[in-house]
Amino acid sequence: MKIISGLILSILVCLNLSAGDLLCADRLERSFPARPGGQLTVITSGSQIKVEGAEVSTYAVTIECKKSIEEYYQVDFASTGDGLTITVERKKTDKLLGIIGSGKAPGLKIAVIAPRETGTDLKTSGGGIDLRNLAGELQARTSGGKITCDGIDGALAVHTSGGSISCANISGSLDARTSGGGISLASVDGPFTGKTSGGSINAERITGDGSLQTSGGKIHLQDSNGRIDLHTSGGGITAEHHEGSITATTSGGGIKVEFVTPPTGDSELKTSGGGITFSMPRGSSAHLDAKTSGGNVSSDFAVLVASGTQKRNRLEGKIGEGGPLLSLRASGGSIRIREN
């Protein structure tokens, strides 16, 4: 009896640890007609989604799972000739089956190769999303993973509640929001919004008007051109090699901003947790209004001061011929206006 019990236990362990993963791996492949300008919709839970654009006239769908797809999921396809909807629902697992090694439903990987000119509406509650080489109106939402986008031309809106966002080579509008990670943007050309409640933001080679906001980290912006709004409650702000105008506010660190051309619009920098360093090219013109309650104000530029507005911690007046307003406010450090 003991020998039989041991044998049964060994079988259970093997089923759970190896047979389920090695012997029952599954792959589903389907192809559907497509035309440029069509719409791809994917609604699933527990799945990773990847969509890549190419010079093709079909939707080539591949679904992979470590175990039997049919055992754990109901997969439906609805083709309209130029569009495709993929719906994946988890099946209820039999309790007895779970005891002998089936366990909870394994994750899926859904990959689609589509015409480059394809719009998307992607929703998953348990995995990451990857979009590449697509042009159109693109929407992607996940509550449990990272979102990666590269080579996008069009209106892009991505949202995750449980991961980071990375977007590169974007031409068109961008709306990127996460509640649980950082945001990384590179080579974005168009109006943009980046917002996170739980991480830092890094952005480089940005052209266009937009805003970056975080409640839990620092912001670093480099090589940008436009009217940009930066806000953080939990870190410092750095903007290097900027052209245009800028608004930067933080409650948790210092601010450092470098203009490589004279400001073209009003700029406002405000911190309650550090100092401010602002630099712009020689020969720039602006109307300066700088004040701090935690240090002093100094300027490399000659400032034509209005009566009664020059003190150790206050400096207001014209730089050069005057021009766009440069408002600087600090309550935790000194303010420096530098020539570069």
Q: Are 254 and 273 in contact (CB under 8 A)?
A: yes
Give residue 172's pLDDT.
Answer: 97
Q: What is the pLDDT of residues 256-310, one digit of tens each?
A: 999 999 999 999 999 998 999 999 999 999 999 999 998 999 999 999 997 666 7
244 domain-assigned: no
Domain range holding 190? 146-236
- Are 27 and 125 members of one domain? yes
Q: Are 327 and 266 in contact (CB under 8 A)?
A: yes
- Are 100 and 65 members of one domain? yes
Give residue 16's pLDDT.
Answer: 38
Give residue 81's pLDDT.
Answer: 79
Give residue 102's pLDDT.
Answer: 52
- Give the three-class secondary structure for 94: coil
Give residue 311's pLDDT.
Answer: 83
138 domain-assigned: no
Q: What angle do CA 160, 163, 167 make, to 5 degrees?
A: 75
Give the total number of structural domains in the chain: 3
pTM, two decimals, is 0.87
Regions of the chain with pLDDT less than 70? 1-24, 93-105, 307-309
Give residue 100's pLDDT.
Answer: 35
Sign of the alpha-carbon torsion through 176, 153, 245, 200:
positive
- Are 58 and 117 members of one domain? yes
The alpha carbon torsion through 105, 109, 110, 113 (nearest 10 deg) reads -170
- Are 123 and 34 members of one domain? yes
Q: What is each CA distance from 269 to 6, 232, 291, 337, in whole angstroms? A: 71, 12, 11, 12
DSSP tag of 10: H
| 212 closest CA partner among 192, 186, 190 | 192
Among 236, 263, 284, identify where a domain stops: 236
247 domain-assigned: no
Chain position carrying tokens 């109901």: 74
Q: Which residues pair with 296 in a beta bridge?
A: none
Among 69, 98, 129, identify where a domain stops: 129
- Are 112 and 156 members of one domain? no
295 domain-assigned: yes
- Are 120 and 68 members of one domain? yes
